[in-house]
Every structure is written in structure tokens, then in C-alpha cells.
Amino acid sequence: MTEATTFDNVRAEDAPASAPAAVRAWLWAVAGLVFAMVIVGGATRLTESGLSITEWKPVAGVLPPLSEAAWAAEFEKYKQIPQYSRLFPTMTLAEFRTIFFWEWSHRLLGRLIGLVFALPLAFFWLRGLLPSALKPKLAGVLALGGLQGAVGWWMVASGLSDRVEVAPERLATHLLLACLTLGALIWLAVGAAPARAPAAPADARLRAGAFGVLGLVFGQIGLGALTAGSRAGLTYNTWPLMDGRFVPPLEHLSRMEPRWKNFLENITTVQFDHRLAAYALIVAALWHVARARSLAPGSGAARRAGVIAGLVLTQAGLGILTLLLAVPIWAGLLHQAFAMLVLGMAVVHARRLAAS
């Protein structure tokens, strides 16, 4: 064997950073499935389907009802929760099957993601195809997946007794965990790529800006989940003013006691916070691209910063459109999907700068 042995001919454990192409493709494939999971979850929320399955059966729940009697039994269980009696007392069995399908599909996709991640992970690990530094990180992602399932049921349980929907803060936790998982997969996939030609170290200010934008994106997604969970998007359907004002009256922003509840359940405060965070993210993204073009003109970092700024502006436009139209399902899903694109690009950008 010659001295110029390629990486493909050695065990990945012996390589300090990169991983085989199959491992990278697997990480991107799982990231794609998590992206799809977020969109199906959004559809589940927008169609009021999330409480249609009132039990958590990790194994038996893989199959939907297979007989008319089984469908009738599931429908009877749904009739026992407040959402049915208060919101949909005239729902038919055919209508119930529709909302059941969305929630069942969401849970089935979660199970599929678990298998698509865990089985190849075991294979790559046993075959010695994973760099040593990557192993604990992948184990952490696996743990995140298990936690996500538990949080999903914790979220659903909040809407089965005293409420007609899930608690907004639990919905936000569920979505943010999905975003954390998606971000971790993208971060690892980008980091596992073969090393590029050496480049000048990134300016610390540029690196800090990239992570600042990423943090704002993550926070804004959380505020968006609170907005969806409290149905705040169905009110104040004007822009840039809310009921004729840029800043709503203080008594409207703080009408709930204790005061902290306003940030989670007061539809005025929740929507106002979501708007303010959007403005902050736009300013940060534009400032970052200006700094990138000043500190590293013509570089990949400057180009990526420009793409992020364009995505952020497009996402803001989609958000305004969704609000003005009072959240039709297609607009709500497009807005959520684009948020994941912004997050993914922000993660790629931060990871590339972290490695330089």
C-alpha cells in the first residue's frame, strides 16, 4: 500500500474529523426526515388534529384502527376530552378519521425517524466507520430523539383534561427540541465533511455575529410556536400596526396575573413579542451581511451571510402574509417550512465559521 492511502481505505476512527460519505449522507437524510416531521407537526396543529389520539402506545399505536368497531372506540375516547364537547360537538366519524390520520402520521414519522437513525448508527458504530469524536455527539442526538417523544406526549397530555388545546409553552418546547435535533444533525453533517483547503481564520467578530443570528433565529421560532399555540395569529390581522398602534396599550400587554403568563398565553403580548423579535432578526441579519462583506469581502462567509439575510427577509414577508390572511393552512405551513430553511442555513454558516 502506498503512503498516499486515501481516507476510504482506513477506519474512520483513525481520522480526526471527517467521516465516510455514507455517514454524511445518512445524517443529511435524517435531517430531511426531521424537517418533514416539523411540517407534518405544523399541519397537525393547524388542522386541530393533535388531540385526536388520546393514548400513547409506542408499539401498538403503530397500526391505525383496522375495523369499524376499532374506529368507533377511538372516536368514543376522543369524545371524552373537552376539545370535542366545546369545539367540535357535531363532528362525524368521517371527520374524526381525517384528524386522526394527521396525528397518527405524525407519530408514525417519529417512530420511522427513530429507526432510520438508530439502526444505521449501530451499523456504522460496529463497523468502525465513525470518527471517535463523533460517537458521543451521535449518542446525544439519539437521546434527544427519545426526549422528543416523551415531550410530545407531555404536550398532548396538557390538552386532554382542562383545556381544548395543548399548552402553548409545551408546544414551543416540542418544536424547539425538534429544531435543536435538526440543527445538531446539520452541524454534525457539515462538520463531518472532508477538510477544505486551509483558509485564513475567520474574524472573531464575524463568528460572533453568525452565532448571534443563529440564536435569534432559534428564539424567534420559539416565539412563533407560542403564537401558534395561543392562536395569536388569528387576531390583530393588520401590519405594521396592531389595532391602530405600533405598541399595544400596556393594560392589554399585561392584563394576566401573574405577569409572566402574559408572555405565554396573552395573545396581544405573544404576537407583539413575535413581531419585535422579527424586526430584531432582520436588523441583525442585515448588519451581519454588511460586516461580512467588510471583514471578508468575496468570501464564502460573506456569500452565506447574504443568503441568510435574503431568507430572513423572505420569511418576514411570509409571516406578514400569513398574518394578513388570518393563517390559512397553506400559508402557516409555508411560514413554518421556511423557518426551518432559515435555521438550517444559519447552522451551516455558524459551523463553517466555527471550523475556520
* Average pLDDT for the chain: 92
Instruction: Quote the pLDDT of residue 173.
Output: 97
Instruction: Give percent of the chain above pLDDT 70.
Output: 93
161 vs 40, residue with greater confidence: 40
Q: Give how far Cα 143 sits from Cα of 136, 149, 183, 190, 244, Å.
A: 10, 10, 15, 20, 47
Give me the torsion for CA of 25, 29, 34, 37, rounded to 10°.
180
Task: Specify the residue for cell string 421560532.
Answer: 221
Distance CA 146, CA 74 (A): 26
Is the per-residue pLDDT at 187 higher than 80?
A: yes
Instruction: Quote the pLDDT of residue 60.
Output: 75
Instruction: Quote the pLDDT of residue 11.
Output: 45
Half-sphere exposure (CA, 13 Å, Cβ side) for 273?
24
Task: State the burial class of residue 149 (Cβ atoms within 10 Å of its Cβ: 0-12, 13-18, 19+).
Answer: middle
Is residue 150 within a helix (H) or strand (E), and if so which, with residue range?
helix 135-157
Distance CA 307, CA 77 (A): 48
Instruction: Quote the pLDDT of residue 105.
Output: 95
Residue 197: pLDDT band with limits 50, 70, 90: low
| DSSP symbol at 18 | -
Distance CA 31, CA 56 (A): 25
Instruction: Quote the pLDDT of residue 305.
Output: 97
Q: How many CB atoms lie within 10 A of CB 30?
A: 23
Is residue 321 within a helix (H) or strand (E), and if so which, with residue range?
helix 300-324
Q: In this predicted model, what pLDDT tens digit does every residue of 120-152 receive, in sequence order?
A: 999 999 999 999 999 999 999 999 999 999 999
Bridge partner list, 242: 245
CA 44 to chain centre: 14
Mean predicted confidence (pLDDT) in 193-209: 77
Task: Tell which residue, 210, 222, 225, 188, has the closest CA to residue 307.
Answer: 210
Mean predicted confidence (pLDDT) in 162-170: 92
Residue 200: pLDDT band with limits 50, 70, 90: low
* φ and ψ of 218, to 5 deg: -60, -45
Mean predicted confidence (pLDDT) in 41-62: 91
Contact predicate 151/177, CB 8 Å: yes
Q: How many CB atoms lie within 10 A of CB 23?
A: 22
Contact predicate 116/34, CB 8 Å: no
Residues counted in the chain: 356
Q: In this predicted model, what pLDDT tens digit does every residue of 233-269 receive, in sequence order?
A: 999 999 999 999 999 999 999 999 999 999 999 999 9
Window from 49-58, 132-141, 197-206, 320-329 with minimum mean pLDDT: 197-206
Confidence (pTM): 0.91
Is the per-residue pLDDT at 229 higher than 60?
A: yes
Is the per-residue pLDDT at 58 higher than 90?
A: no
Contact predicate 17/133, CB 8 Å: yes
Distance CA 170, CA 153 (A): 10
Q: In this predicted model, what pLDDT tens digit does every residue of 3-22 receive, in sequence order?
A: 333 333 434 443 345 788 99
Task: Specify the residue for cell string 389595532.
Answer: 243
Instruction: Quote the pLDDT of residue 21.
Output: 92
The grid coordinates listed for 158 are 396538557
Mean predicted confidence (pLDDT) in 279-287: 98
Window from 188-197, 238-247, 252-261, 323-332 with minimum mean pLDDT: 188-197
Mean predicted confidence (pLDDT) in 304-323: 97
